C-alpha cells in the first residue's frame, strides 16, 4: 500500500518510537558512565555468568524435549477437555512468577507432595533449591510455550500427507521419521533459542529458588551488587555482560525462528491413522496426563493453600495490592499512549521495517534498565521516590514487543480493507482512528492491555531494586512474607495476586470484546 494513500499520519508514531529508543538508550548511557572494564570480575561474578548460561541451556533443552511427546499427543488426539488444556497452556505466561514458585514449592518443596510420596516409599527427599530448582521452574514456565509452538507446526501439516501414508500402510515409526522429524528439525532450534533468551533474563526464579555462590544468575548478581554492596560500577559492568548475552541470543533467536504457515493441502480435517494402536493410545495418554499434572498441580495447590491462608493475610498485603493495581494501571495507560501510535506507524510501513523499534525491550532486561536509570536519576533526585513510576514504565517497555505483535495485524488489516474508502471520503487522522481503526482493532487492543496489566501486576524486578518499606508492590510483599517464613500469609497473598492478575487480564480482554460487539 502506497504511503501517500494512508489516511493516518505516522508523526505520532515517530514521537512514540523516539521516546522508546530514548528510554532504552538512556539506560545504556547510565550503565556506560559507571561501567569500568578495568575493574574486572572476581570468581563469584564469573560463576554467575557460567551458571546463567548453564541453567538457560538446560532449561531450553529440557523444555523442548518434553514438549515433543505432549504436542504430538495433543496433535493426534481429540479428547474431551483437549481445547481447555490447550487454552490453559497460555496461563503460565500471565501467571506471576512468585505465585508459580509458591505452587512449585507446595508440590516439589521439602514438605511438598512429591517428597511426602518419596517418604512413604522410603526414598530420600529431594531439594528444590539450586540449579535443579531453577531449571524446574523454567521448564514449568516454558514447556507450555514450546508445546504451543510445536503444536502449531504439527497442525500445519496437510491432512493429505497422513492420508497418503495410511494408503501406503506406513508404520507409525516411518511416519514419524519421514513426516514429523523434518518438522521438528525446522521448529526446535528456534523454540529452544527463544526459551534460552527468556531464561537468560529470569530474575524472580533465581531470587527465590537459587541464590548462594553456586546458584546465582547475572540478574541476581546485579541485584546483589546494587542492593547489598551498592557497587554501581560492578552492577553496570554485569549489565553490559547481560546485554551482550541476551542481545546476541535475541538476534540469533529472531534469525532462526521459522515462519510457521499452512502449506498445501485441501483444508481437510486431519485424521491420524498412525495413532490408532494400543501402544500409541497409551503413550499419548501418559504424555497428556503427565503434562497436565505438571502444569495444573502447582496452580491447584496455590488455590487450596491460598484459601486456607487468607485469614492470616496482614493489612500490609492489602496496601501492597492497591499499590500493585496503581502500578498496573499506569503501565496500561503508558502502553496505550505509546503502542497505539507506534502500531499505526508500523502498520503503514512495509512489514519488518520499523517494527524493530518496539523489540528493543527484548534486548535489555528490567534490572539492566533500572540500573541505568538509577545511575542517571541518583545525582539529581531521590530514585526511591520515583520507584513506582519507574517500575510502571519499565513494565510497559517489557510488554511493548508483545503488545505490538498483537495490535499491528488488526490495524494493518483495517487500513488495507478501508484505507482507500477513508481517503475517498476525505476521512483522515483521528476521524479514521475513531470510526474505522479502533472499532475493528478493539479486541486486540483489549487483549494487549490485559496482558500488560497482568505482567505488570505480577512483576518482581525493578521494584526490588528501588523499593523501600513504604513503597511495596504485592509480589515484593509476598516475597518478604516467604522470607519471614510466614507461609500461610504468603499463600493467601499468592491467591490474591493470582486473582488480581487473572482479573485484570479478563477485564480488559472481555470488556474490549464486549464493547466491540455493541
pLDDT at residue 261 greater than cutoff 60: no
Task: Classify domain 10-35+42-262+275-516 by CATH number.
Answer: 1.10.3720.10
Mean pLDDT lowest among 91-105, 137-151, 224-238, 292-306: 224-238
CA-CA distance, 273 to 343, in Å (whole number)?
A: 44
CA-CA distance, 428 to 334, in Å (whole number)?
A: 24
- In this prediction, residue 354 carries a pLDDT of 58
- In this prediction, residue 98 carries a pLDDT of 86
Q: Is the dihedral of CA 105, 205, 192, 198 positive or negative?
A: positive
- Which grid cell sits at 295? 502444569
For 261, the enclosing helix (H) or strand (E) is: none
pTM attached to this predicted model: 0.81
Residue 343 backbone phi and psi in degrees, to 5: -65, -40
| Residue indicated by cell numbers 497452556 | 89
Tell me: the pLDDT tens digits for 75-131?
Answer: 888 778 787 888 777 777 778 888 888 889 889 888 888 888 888 888 888 888 888
Tell me: the pLDDT tens digits for 64-76?
Answer: 999 999 998 988 8
- In this prediction, residue 11 carries a pLDDT of 86
pLDDT at residue 267 greater than cutoff 60: no
Mean pLDDT lowest among 294-303, 455-464, 465-474: 465-474
- Which grid cell sits at 73? 499427543
Tell me: the pLDDT tens digits for 248-260?
Answer: 777 776 666 555 5
Average pLDDT over residues 482-508: 89
> How would DSSP label each residue in 11-52?
HHHHHHHHHHHHHHHHHHHHHHHH--GGG---HHHHHHHHHH
Q: Is 471 helix (H, G, I), strand (E, B) or coil?
A: strand
Bridge partners of residue 471, in order along the sequence: 468
Instruction: Name the more confident of 214 and 207.
Output: 207
Residue 471 backbone phi and psi in degrees, to 5: -130, 90
Instruction: Name the more confident of 480 and 468.
Output: 480
Q: Model confidence at 197, in pLDDT bands (50, 70, 90)? A: confident
- In this prediction, residue 284 carries a pLDDT of 87
Closest CA to 67 of 11, 135, 142, 137: 142
Give Cβ neighbours of residue 384 (< 8 Å, ≥ 6 apart).
466, 467, 468, 471
- In this prediction, residue 4 carries a pLDDT of 53
Average pLDDT over residues 478-486: 87
Tell me: the pLDDT tens digits for 429-447?
Answer: 888 888 888 888 888 899 8
- In this prediction, residue 352 carries a pLDDT of 55
The DSSP letter of residue 468 is B
CA-CA distance, 174 to 179, in Å (whole number)?
A: 8
Q: Is 407 helix (H, G, I), strand (E, B) or coil?
A: helix
pLDDT at residue 414 greater than cutoff 80: yes
**What would you report as the CA-atom Rg of the chain, rounded to the nearest whole angstrom?**
24
- In this prediction, residue 64 carries a pLDDT of 93
pLDDT at residue 2 greater than cutoff 50: no
pLDDT at residue 193 greater than cutoff 60: yes
Average pLDDT over residues 370-378: 83
- In this prediction, residue 260 carries a pLDDT of 52
- In this prediction, residue 1 carries a pLDDT of 44
Amino acid at each position: 500500500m502506497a504511503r501517500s494513500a494512508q489516511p493516518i499520519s505516522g508523526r505520532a508514531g515517530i514521537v512514540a518510537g523516539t521516546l522508546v529508543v530514548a528510554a532504552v538508550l538512556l539506560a545504556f548511557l547510565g550503565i556506560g558512565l559507571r561501567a569500568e572494564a578495568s575493574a574486572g570480575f572476581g570468581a563469584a561474578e564469573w560463576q554467575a555468568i557460567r551458571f546463567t548460561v548453564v541453567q538457560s541451556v538446560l532449561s531450553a533443552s529440557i523444555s523442548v524435549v518434553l514438549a515433543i511427546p505432549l504436542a504430538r499427543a495433543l496433535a493426534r488426539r481429540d479428547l474431551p477437555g483437549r481445547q481447555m488444556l490447550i487454552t490453559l497452556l497460555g496461563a503460565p505466561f500471565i501467571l506471576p512468577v512468585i505465585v508459580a514458585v509458591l505452587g512449585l514449592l507446595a508440590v516439589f518443596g521439602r514438605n511438598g507432595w512429591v517428597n511426602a510420596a518419596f517418604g512413604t516409599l522410603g526414598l530420600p527427599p529431594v531439594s528444590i533449591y539450586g540449579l535443579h530448582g531453577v531449571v524446574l521452574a523454567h521448564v514449568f514456565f516454558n514447556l507450555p510455550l514450546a508445546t504451543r509452538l510445536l503444536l502449531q507446526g504439527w497442525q500445519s501439516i496437510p491432512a493429505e500427507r497422513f492420508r497418503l501414508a495410511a494408503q501406503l500402510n506406513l508404520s507409525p515409526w516411518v511416519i514419524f521419521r519421514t513426516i514429523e522429524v523434518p518438522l521438528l528439525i525446522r521448529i526446535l532450534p528456534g523454540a529452544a533459542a527463544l526459551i534460552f533468551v527468556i531464561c537468560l533474563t529470569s530474575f524472580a526464579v533465581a531470587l527465590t529458588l537459587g541464590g548462594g555462590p553456586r546458584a546465582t544468575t547475572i540478574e541476581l548478581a546485579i541485584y546483589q551488587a546494587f542492593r547489598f554492596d551498592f557497587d554501581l560500577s560492578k552492577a553496570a559492568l554485569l549489565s553490559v555482560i547481560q546485554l551482550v548475552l541476551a542481545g546476541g541470543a535475541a538476534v540469533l533467536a529472531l534469525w532462526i525462528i521459522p515462519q510457521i504457515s499452512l502449506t498445501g493441502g485441501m483444508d481437510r480435517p486431519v485424521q491420524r491413522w498412525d495413532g490408532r494402536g494400543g501402544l500409541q493410545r497409551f503413550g499419548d495418554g501418559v504424555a497428556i496426563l503427565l503434562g497436565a499434572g505438571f502444569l495444573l498441580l502447582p496452580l491447584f495447590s496455590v488455590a487450596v493453600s491460598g484459601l486456607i491462608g487468607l485469614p492470616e493475610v496482614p493489612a500490609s498485603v492489602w496496601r501492597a495490592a492497591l499499590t500493585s493495581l496503581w502500578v498496573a494501571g499506569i503501565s496500561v495507560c503508558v502502553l496505550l499512549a505509546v503502542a497505539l501510535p507506534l502500531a499505526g506507524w508500523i502498520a503503514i510501513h512495509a512489514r519488518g521495517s520499523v517494527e524493530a523499534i518496539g523489540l528493543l525491550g527484548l534486548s535489555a532486561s528490567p534490572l539492566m534498565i533500572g540500573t541505568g536509570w538509577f545511575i542517571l536519576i541518583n545525582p539529581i533526585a531521590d530514585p526511591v521516590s520515583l520507584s513506582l513510576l519507574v517500575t510502571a514504565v519499565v513494565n510497559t517497555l517489557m510488554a511493548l514487543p508483545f503488545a505490538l505483535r498483537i495490535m499491528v495485524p488488526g490495524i494493518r488489516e483495517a487500513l488495507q480493507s478501508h484505507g482507500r474508502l477513508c481517503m475517498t471520503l476525505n476521512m483522515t487522522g483521528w476521524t479514521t482512528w475513531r470510526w474505522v481503526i479502533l472499532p475493528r482493532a478493539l479486541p486486540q487492543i483489549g487483549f494487549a492491555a490485559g496482558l500488560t496489566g497482568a505482567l505488570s501486576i505480577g512483576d518482581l524486578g525493578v521494584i526490588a531494586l528501588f523499593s523501600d518499606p513504604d513503597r511495596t508492590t504485592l509480589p515484593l510483599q509476598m516475597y518478604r512474607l516467604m522470607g519471614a517464613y510466614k507461609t500461610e500469609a504468603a499463600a493467601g497473598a499468592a491467591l490474591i495476586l493470582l486473582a488480581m492478575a487473572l482479573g485484570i487480564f479478563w477485564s480488559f480482554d472481555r470488556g474490549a470484546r464486549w464493547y466491540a460487539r455493541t
